[in-house]
Structure 1
């Protein structure tokens, strides 16, 4: 099972940003990441310097949003939708995107549900509840 470290994730997004800017060929995963990076120009400064990215502290106490977590959640949700896992997530996403008039905004709403699912799993010690996650999305 692939389990990247925080530094691996930050390097991946910084390298994807660099390759995109240089017009270099991207892997399929980098191409998906690039699509989300382009939709978040507010993260350009965080992505342009890998050393600064590796040293950055995005703790809750500092009150900053973590661009690497945000982009990672976009990637996770895109993968979930592409394989319809958990079952029903693709249809829930499609309905939410239609209601909101934006796939990007639907992703942001889904991030709230994803965060709730992960938090509940960590708190209870039980596996993530995919059905509850999809139900949360349907209620948005």
Structure 2
């Protein structure tokens, strides 16, 4: 899924959760997705709702974080750490995880990633990978 639609992303997480509940074999990224979902029990009922979850909208005015965005960012960060891309992200995560539990460390990285994406959108360019890793390292230093 290199450029999935909103519906494809939502179905991916709902299908992975359904497979987990049915004790079906998980494939590829589904294994990581389930690890992330298990750390977010607040999303379990939503993911089990299937089509309702796929169709629902979350808006900033509603004051709720879009759970699919949150899970997708976790999945992106897990992949970044696994392949150390951008270079240095794994070492920065390890420093964070030494000071916080791994899930809390991921949440800190999610904030850094969100800020980096926001800055890139404001200037209309690509993500500054070096600035992203540096922001994680700053967070690790406290």
Q: TM-score, normalised by structure 2?
A: 0.95
Aligned residues: 139
Give ranges in structure 2 of 5+ residues lacking alignment. none
**TM-aligned CA deviation for residue 39 of structure 1:** 0.8
Report 1:33-112 matches (<5 A): 33-100=33-100, 102-112=101-111
**TM-aligned CA deviation for residue 51 of structure 1:** 1.1
Say which SS state the counterpart of residue 112 (structure 1) adopts: helix
Which residue is 2:2 aligned to? 2
State the Cα RMSD in Å.
Answer: 1.0
Say which SS state the counterpart of residue 25 (structure 2) adopts: coil
User: 1:131 aligned to 2:130?
Assistant: yes
> CA separation in 2, counterparts of 1:127 and 1:45?
36
- Deviation readout 1:45-76 (Å, 9 max, x if unpaired): 21011211122111101111111111111110
Q: TM-score, normalised by structure 1?
A: 0.96
> CA separation in 2, counterparts of 1:118 and 1:4?
18
> CA separation in 2, counterparts of 1:43 and 1:2?
24
> CA separation in 1, counterparts of 2:44 and 2:99?
30
> CA separation in 2, counterparts of 1:55 and 1:2?
22
Deviant stretches of 4+, over 6 Å: none
Which residue is 1:26 aligned to? 26
